[in-house]
Structure 1
Amino acid sequence: MIPLYLLHITTVEHSESLLWTFLTCNVFVVTAGIVFMYKLFTQKKVRGAGIVFGIAIAINYILIAIFGDPFDLLG
């Protein structure tokens, strides 16, 4: 369980399914961020990658705000 908690550290206990939801969302956020930064630094078309990255971060924060603790949003 330790690798799962390294990607989403929270003070609130979560069920296994909810933890996998957070893990999947966080992996998608990291992947979208890497693609966005690669396209940005190679000066390719970044509009689509930026929108996907922004939506992924918004969904991640919404999930944390609903199912987590307000202090989870700080770090």
Structure 2
Amino acid sequence: KFNWGRVVALFYFACRLVIKAISTKIPDIIRTIINWTMSYIQEHVVNWIREQGGWDGIRSYFGTPTWQTVGVFLA
């Protein structure tokens, strides 16, 4: 049912909705978008995230974040 790609897509979709609300000058809906997203995550996604090792699981799935890789090369 869930995978890390879908979890990331959910955050991306919510972020894009907030950006659209800002750009179309409808800031009142931003709180609704955030509340809906958080409720959905709490009701449907958070247990799956825990089963995958929590937020550390996403690092294992996607590998080392680019910013860490860049930091190693700059050091």
Query: Does TM, scored on the shorter chain, surpass 0.5?
Result: no
TM-score (structure 1 length as normaliser): 0.45
Tell which has more relative contact order, 1 or 2 (C-alpha 8 A, sep 6+): 1
Normalized per residue, which structure has more helix?
A: 2
TM-score (structure 2 length as normaliser): 0.45
